[in-house]
């Protein structure tokens, strides 16, 4: 049976809740619609978080991101909504959602939304300063 887009974010238990490790997921094929023109907006959505008790399940995340394809929404609104929905679903210690939107009318847009506090002892990703 083929999958369908959904706003449901399924979760799984964090196998190491005592450790402040980092998870980064990149979705380079994100699309939504411009609420003014109805034209598609294309972005790479990067989700970087330190898990709390739960992890977002990857197929559920894929279907969730797909659900924005026909939605007319401003860049700032969709990035903040994704962050809010992930916080509600997984209760991360810290999360950053970045939307890097492709050029439209000669302008690119990057929106970053964060919640929580990055633990001082959290693992760093390659290329990050300690």
Residue 67's domain spans which residues? 21-116
Active-site residues: which are they? Answer: 34, 41
Q: Does residue 122 surpass a pLDDT of 80?
A: yes
Q: How confident is the model at residue 2 (pLDDT cuts 50, 70, 90)?
A: low
Is the residue at 53 inside a domain?
Answer: yes
- Mean of per-residue pLDDT scores for the chain: 95
Is the residue at 56 inside a domain?
Answer: yes
pTM summary value: 0.94
* Domain count across the chain: 1
Q: Does residue 130 surpass a pLDDT of 70?
A: no
Is the residue at 4 inside a domain?
Answer: no
Cα gap 58→44, rounded to integer Å: 16
State residue 127's pLDDT score: 84
pLDDT digits (tens, 9 = 90+) for 10-67: 999 999 999 999 999 999 999 999 999 999 999 999 999 999 999 999 999 999 999 9
CB 21 within 8 A of CB 123: yes
Tokens of 113: 């939304």
Rounded (to 5) percent helix, strand, coil in the chain: 20, 40, 40
Is the residue at 15 inside a domain?
Answer: no
State the number of CA atoms in the 13 A half-sphere of 93 facing the CB: 19
3-state secondary structure of 86: helix
Q: Which stretches of 8-128 are assigned E, i.e. beta strand?
A: 11-13, 23-33, 40-50, 54-56, 94-104, 107-116
Give Cβ neighbours of residue 66 (< 8 Å, ≥ 6 apart): 5
Query: Which CATH number do you get for residue 109?
Result: 3.30.1130.10
Is the residue at 107 inside a domain?
Answer: yes
């Amino acid at each position: 049976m083929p999958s369908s887009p959904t706003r449901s974010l399924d979760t799984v238990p964090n196998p190491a809740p005592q450790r402040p490790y980092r998870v980064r997921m990149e979705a380079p094929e994100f699309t939504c619609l411009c609420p003014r023109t109805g034209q598609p907006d294309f972005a790479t959505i990067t989700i970087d978080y330190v898990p709390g008790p739960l992890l977002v399940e990857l197929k559920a995340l894929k279907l969730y991101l797909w659900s924005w394809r026909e939605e007319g929404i401003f860049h700032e609104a969709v990035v903040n909504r994704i962050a809010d929905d992930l916080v509600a679903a997984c209760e991360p210690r810290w999360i950053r959602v970045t939307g890097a939107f492709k050029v439209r009318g000669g302008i690119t847009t990057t929106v970053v939304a964060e919640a929580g506090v990055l633990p001082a002892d959290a693992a760093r990703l390659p290329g990050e300063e300690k």
